Structure 1
Amino acid sequence: MSILNQGYYNLEVVVVDDNQFDSTANLSEELCFDPRVRVVRNPGSHGPSQARNFGVQSAIGELITFLDDDDFYLPGRLSSIMSFYEQSGDRYSFISAGRFAEMDDFSEIQPIPGQRFGVISLENIKFGNSIDIGVLMKKEFFEQLGGFDEKLSSLEDWDLFIRALKVKDGYKIKRFDYAVSRTEGRDRVSEREAAGYFDIAEKYSKEFGYKWTFIPRSKGLNLAGQFSLAKAVFYSYRSSSLLPARIYLSSRFPRMIRITKELSARRQP
């Protein structure tokens, strides 16, 4: 419902019913009777990449954006992004904004660290993705990129943004208006992230180099609970980077890493 409460009316909402059995009867009355909403059936068992690609194919608008079924847009997000697009035109490959995490239907809110705002280049997301799935992008450009890679286990958004930024820079507005749901017990795409990191490492190993592959592999092993201190030290040595060690330490001692970052920030003039 958050997409319909944006105060932005010139839009088409394509709801992809990606279940084996028709679940359109479960839609709320607001969705069923809103003329902006169109439900498309995508029967069978498909991954999120295929479902999103199917939704884009069904869309008739010039611009597209995305919203996962358990995430939220805060009021004003679409207006803010569209206003920026109207000012910048085709200068950027995509336009996004800030995100944060919510748990148990907003009973708890947590910031998502490491977000960069302003102009986003390929180098800015080479070692990790700080862009949410709700980017604004021209449909034609999305199709030229080939859409989401349906062969990836997860992290298909990171992969799309890598390909987009190889064409031209993106932009991220400093406004926190995308809520990522992290409520325990919900089946989320992010649960397959460990395999996704290995897929990304393999896909871009030749392009980004052998040393770079140790960074996404470190994140995959860490998520899978298979990243030991010995591996972290070895991966840091092979990658010529402290990132694998930081990945290991931040998961074991998150409070210590957070305090260190805060102290470093205070020392900066």
Structure 2
Amino acid sequence: MLISIIIPTCLRSECELIRAIDSVLWNGYDNIEIIVVNDNRTNSFDDFCFLISRYSSASIKFLYNTGEKGAASARNYAVNYSSGELITFLDDDDFILPGRLEQMYLAFIELESKGIHLISTGRVYQYENYSQLEIVGRQLFGKINLKDIYIHNDIDIGFMVRKSFFLELNGFDQSYKNLEDWDFIIRALKLGGAYKLKSFSYIVKNDISNNRVSNNDYIGLEKILNNYSSEFGLVWKEKIEIQIARSMNKYGLRKAIRATFVCRSLYPIINYLGYIKNAIISK
């Protein structure tokens, strides 16, 4: 079965983009197409010339996103040009380890009939050009339902999904500036389940940089809050507001105490202590 691997890029790093592409080509699953979509606001298709010559014999499509810019739009744009029955996503500064695609494919074929719509794997953070590697802690594995991820998303952007199902849900919501993958996963898991393989084969670049979109999680969190607060209830709302406060560096003890009474648990206080600990370590 043909798998389309979608890689959006703003061409920030030629080296990292090549690493991402090569990690797919060397993954060991041959029935693939790679779609690299240029989402840079100022560059054009001509900026792919160095890649076109490098990968002239590989099954790679190079596209320029002529629509609305942003990660959600670029991925949707590329999906519309994909030929695979299955699709998966890879950020241009991340990469995958050998065997991941076949492992996910085999799991998908086995589990789709049991109501599983998404297949994912575990992930590893790499910091500052491999000066530190970290297996992300407290990851969930096995079958994952909506209530497993609706407060903290544990499924990375590299999930595998059937293209027809992705299009049925209208893809990623392009009004999101970030966390559009979490919103999609919430919508997908309302209709079935996901399965996360215990394979640490998705490697995430996690350098500390103010230029990374993920430092502005509060933007996506506020949209998640607005879209689902009436559906998921008061305690859920309070826990998302804690995440927003943490993302904005505005999580104080007063809010933690108030949230403790709303949630009727020690979750807010424990979260606050973790927030303080991280603040001290980062100084």
User: TM-score if structure 1 supplies the norm length?
Assistant: 0.89
The match for 2:272 among 248, 258, 265 is 248
- AA partner of residue 86 (structure 1): I
Pairs aligned (count): 255
Contact 1:219 1:247 in 2 (8 A): no
- AA partner of residue 174 (structure 1): K
Q: Match of 1:95, SS?
A: strand
2:16 matched residue in structure 1: none
Indicate the percent of aligned positions where both proteins have the same amino acid: 37
The match for 1:87 among 110, 113, 137 is 110
**Alpha-carbon spacing, 1:186–1:249, altered in 2? closer, same or farther (3 Å):** closer
Contact 1:202 1:213 in 2 (8 A): no
- AA partner of residue 139 (structure 1): K
* TM-superposed deviation, 1:183: 2.1
Quick one: distance in 1 between partners of 2:238 and 2:209? 31
1:136 matched residue in structure 2: 160
Contact 1:214 1:239 in 2 (8 A): yes
The match for 2:99 among 59, 62, 76 is 76
Quick one: distance in 2 between partners of 1:186 and 1:224? 13
**Alpha-carbon spacing, 1:193–1:122, altered in 2? closer, same or farther (3 Å):** same
The match for 2:84 among 61, 64, 89 is 61
Deviating 4+ runs (over 6 angstroms) = none
Q: Does 1:15 align with 2:39?
A: no
Q: Match of 1:82, SS?
A: helix
Quick one: distance in 1 between partners of 2:258 and 2:157? 33
* TM-superposed deviation, 1:186: 7.4
Q: Match of 2:32, SS?
A: coil
The match for 2:146 among 107, 114, 122 is 122
1:109 matched residue in structure 2: 133
With 229-238 and 159-168 compared, the bigger mean Cα shift is at 229-238
Unaligned runs of 5+ in 2: 1-21
Q: Match of 1:204, SS?
A: helix
Q: Does 1:49 align with 2:72?
A: yes
Q: Deviations over 1:218-255 (max 9, x none)?
A: 11111111111111111222233332222221121259
**Alpha-carbon spacing, 1:85–1:45, altered in 2? closer, same or farther (3 Å):** closer
- AA partner of residue 154 (structure 2): S
- AA partner of residue 73 (structure 2): Q
Q: How does 1:100-249 map to 2 (within 5 A)?
A: 100-185=124-209, 187-249=211-273
1:6 matched residue in structure 2: 27
Contact 1:6 1:74 in 2 (8 A): yes
Q: Match of 1:33, SS?
A: coil
Quick one: distance in 2 between partners of 1:28 and 1:247? 48
Quick one: distance in 2 between partners of 1:167 and 1:189? 29
Quick one: distance in 1 between partners of 2:133 and 2:256? 31
User: TM-score if structure 2 supplies the norm length?
Assistant: 0.84
- AA partner of residue 187 (structure 1): N
